[in-house]
Amino acid sequence: MIKELPWGAQDRTLTGDDSIAHDREKDVEALEGIFMRGVILPGRERVEMKEFDLPEPGHGQVLVKMKASGLCGSDLRAIYHEHTGSGAERYQNVIAGHEPSGQIEAVGPGVDRLGPGDRVVVYHIVGCGRCEECAQGFMIGCSSRERAAYGWQRDGGHADYLLAEARTLLPLPDGLTYTDGALVACGLGTVYQGILRVGVSGRDTVLVVGLGPVGLGAVMLAAAGGAEVIGVDLIPERLELARDAGATHVLMGGEDAVEEIRDLTAGRGTEVGMDCSGSAAGRKLCLEAAREWGRVVYLGEGGSVTFEPSPLLLHKQLTLHGSWVCGIHEMGNLLEHLDRKGLHPETTVTHTFSLSDTRVAYEIFDAGKTGKVVILLEDT
Ligand SMILES: [Zn+2]
Ligand SMILES: [Zn+2]
């Protein structure tokens, strides 16, 4: 018996043994010896497709058939050009992609909560499960040596299949697409925690600086919560995308930006500032444009910033938060929220590619004029 695989390869060892009684064992057995494709990012803008043995789920593990795999800005910042990351961002030449969403193909022993056919989102960090951060569901903050992120230290989503720990999986609600799920797995989860940290409500004017995929997600969630949103970027294409995502006003960054924001807010400034740019100018603008007693959150990674704390922070009575991804419980809440409100983060996607076109996907994403870019496995 030869099992046809979606990409035209063939199972080389399947025997067609029908004597296996247990469904779960049968699922796993039927996959033995099959090969899959996966994408490695060796640095210097190279994107390599390789063939791998299909992994077999061990205890507590699940084999996920990939459906959608997002590209994240941190892939560009720390992996695609050069492997600059250390610690949690150290890339270990594994299959890339840390925004995976797919359908369960097979489960290993000890997995009861999930089964084949279930649609899932992958929380992209596997923590030790024992430390204080893990106990709160914040595996992102796990400092154990066991901590491993998909697409960084263990194989990620740019592949036909992903071997995942069941405890990192969340059910994808029926009302959401796999692309929606992929976006939640890192970028939108990060936005959601930022929104929670600064307590965005319909009473607020929210300044979002940096309108890449994270910034667009911030615009979408803040606007959906009833807030008035001002989007700022230096790239005209991104301003248009922000308008489509629900921004009330968009404007170019630069020397006049603070004055323009004051004009838009009756001279008061914004209740909330969200920096999604990671730039010094963007971070500073969030403080400068903030209203007295305002709340600011920094989500954009990298770089540095210097500012005078007295006029920009202390005397304005500001609260400044740093925020990094989210906990798995928050991610579950976000999925429920999106489903209930009929929100689709995939509306911020401007480009999709098949797995075999991953190289082009990174090239275009790196050019900086796109919204979200996603690899879709269905068409391959
Ligand atoms: Zn990310
Ligand atoms: Zn831990």
- The CA-to-CA distance between both ends of the chain, in Å, stands at 23
How far away, in angstroms, is 316 Cα from ligand 2 center? 37
CA distance 16 to 371: 46
How far away, in angstroms, is 99 Cα from ligand 2 center? 20
Each residue's pLDDT tens digit, 84-112: 989 999 999 999 999 999 999 999 999 99
Q: Which ligand is nearest to the CA of 151?
A: 1
How far away, in angstroms, is 144 Cα from ligand 2 center? 5
How far away, in angstroms, is 88 Cα from ligand 2 center? 12
Classify 349 as helix, strand or coil: strand
Supply the DSSP string of 60-86, one letter for each residue.
TEEEEEEEEEE--HHHIIIIIS-----
Beta strands 372-376; 349-353: pairing state: parallel
Band the pLDDT of 3: cuts 50, 70, 90. Answer: very low
Classify 374 as helix, strand or coil: strand
Each residue's pLDDT tens digit, 255-269: 999 999 999 999 999
Q: Which ligand is nearest to the CA of 299?
A: 1
- Amino acid identity of residue 37, one-letter, is R
How far away, in angstroms, is 74 Cα from ligand 1 center? 5
From residue 261, how far is each of 102, 108, 206, 267, 271 by CA, in Å? Answer: 41, 54, 11, 8, 12
How far away, in angstroms, is 365 Cα from ligand 1 center? 14
Q: Residue 8 pLDDT more than 50? A: no
CA distance 354 to 351: 11
| Two structure tokens written together for 213 | 């995929």
How far away, in angstroms, is 201 Cα from ligand 1 center? 25
| Two structure tokens written together for 263 | 């004009």
Q: Which ligand is nearest to the CA of 146?
A: 2
| pTM for this entry | 0.89
How far away, in angstroms, is 325 Cα from ligand 2 center? 15
Largest Cα–Cα distance in the chain?
76
